Amino acid sequence: MTKFKFCFMFALVFVFIVNMNIGRAIWVPIVNKVKGKRSISDAISSYEKVVERRLEPIFKNAGVIYPPAELALLGVKEDEVIELWARGDDQNWTLIWGYPILVGSGVLGPKLREGDLQIPEGVYGLEYLNPNSAFHLSMKINYPNEFDKKWAEIEGRAEPGSDIFIHGKDVSVGCLAVGDEAIQELFVLAAKIGLGQVRVIISLVDPRKKDLVMPDGSADWVGDLYENIKVRFLEVARK
Q: What is the pLDDT of residues 155-181, one digit of tens each?
A: 999 999 999 999 999 988 889 999 999
For the chain, which residues make up each domain, given as ranges?
A: 1-36, 39-236
Which residue type sits at 51?
V
- DSSP for residue 168: S
**The listed CATH number (1.20.140.10, 3.40.50.10580, 2.40.50.140, 2.40.440.10) that belongs to domain 39-236:** 2.40.440.10
Is the Cβ–Cβ distance between 155 and 221 less than 8 Å? no
The span from the CA of 138 to the CA of 134, in Å, is 9
Is the Cβ–Cβ distance between 124 and 134 less than 8 Å? no
The pLDDT of residue 88: 93
Residues of the chain under the 50 pLDDT cut: 6-8, 10-11, 13-35
Q: What is the pLDDT of residues 62-105, one digit of tens each?
A: 999 999 999 999 999 999 999 999 999 888 999 999 999 998 77
Q: Would you give the distance in Å from CA 199 to the centre of its chain?
A: 12
